[in-house]
Amino acid sequence: MLALYMAMVDTDEERSLVERLYTSYEQMMYKAAFSVLKDSYYAEDAVHEAFLRIIRNMSCLNFDDDKKTRALLVITVRNVCFNMLRRNKRMPVIDEPEEETEDISAKEEYLKLEAPSAAELIKQLPGEIREVVVMRFIRGDDAKTTADVLGISVPTVYSRIRRAREIIKDFIEEEYND
């Protein structure tokens, strides 16, 4: 694949940059894609599509800062993954525990049928907040890793998590307090 990517650029400087990006970050991008898609073939496709996007927009991007480069590549590949999931409607199903009691009130039954899943709520979050939530709670990264990958501070990670909780809480209250 590297030869294909290098053939897409014109100058030796761009070829050198593409080679550096590919050798340094391809495995990290694959892991990020696999954590979202849970399928090796789709993850490889996502990494390929992300590299194509990066190469197409290379003239507009700055790759001097490694933290920002890493964050850009992870965000790009994750956005490609989310687009693939939307296109293929392959959103992973979140299993809910079965109710042990048969005695469920009408309101509880309605909420059970109508309540959005956690995945649907996460998809509604703004991009920056969604990235933090996915990395912390879906992938299981710690706050420091999340901060490093996204190029933000640890307190910002916690702030975005708090904001995500507020948004989800407000949505649920607004939707179901009628």
Whichever domain contains 138, its CATH number is 1.10.10.10
One domain, residues 76 and 114: no
With H, G, I as helix, E, B as strand and everything else as coil, classify residue 140: coil
Tracing tokens 């989800």 back to the chain, one arrives at 168
pLDDT along the chain (178 residues), means of 10: 69 85 92 90 91 84 85 91 80 45 51 58 83 83 88 92 87 68
One domain, residues 171 and 122: yes
- Secondary structure (H, E, C), 9-70: CCCHHHHHHHHHHHHHHHHHHHHHHHHHHCCHHHHHHHHHHHHHHHHHCHHHCCCCCHHHHH
| pLDDT value, residue 33 | 92
Q: Which amino acid type is present at position 87? A: R
Q: What is the domain range of residue 15?
A: 2-88
| pLDDT value, residue 176 | 62
End-of-domain residue from the set 30, 56, 88: 88
